[in-house]
Amino acid sequence: MGNVTAPVAARLAFFPPEPATYEISREPGGKVVVSGVSGDKNLEAHVLETKGGNKIVATFWKHPFARFTLLYSHGNAADLGQMHDLFLELRAHLRVNIMR
């Protein structure tokens, strides 16, 4: 019974938007691009592969005068497109880079 309840509980506990508010794609040169998020030239996107073969999208929000980098960890139901304004505000007011 535990194998049945875990996926149902996870679906009820987390409500990620469907479809996501952004998409990840690659340009012809191989650069990873996040669509659905404003064209911020200080945003880098990376696709990381885990040992188990899963792919994770990581974004790096650069501030030109940052001395520190904030590692931002979020829950499974978080959506990058919905968090875009938060990252812009954090980066501007704290004057830090943000790795998410």
Can you give the residue ranges of every domain in the chain?
2-99
CA torsion 83-87-93-96 (nearest 10°) is: 150
CB neighbours of residue 16 within 10 Å: 14
> 67-86, pLDDT tens digit by residue?
999 998 876 667 777 788 88
The answer, yes or no, to whether residue 99 has pLDDT greater than 90, is: yes
Q: What is the pTM of this model?
A: 0.72
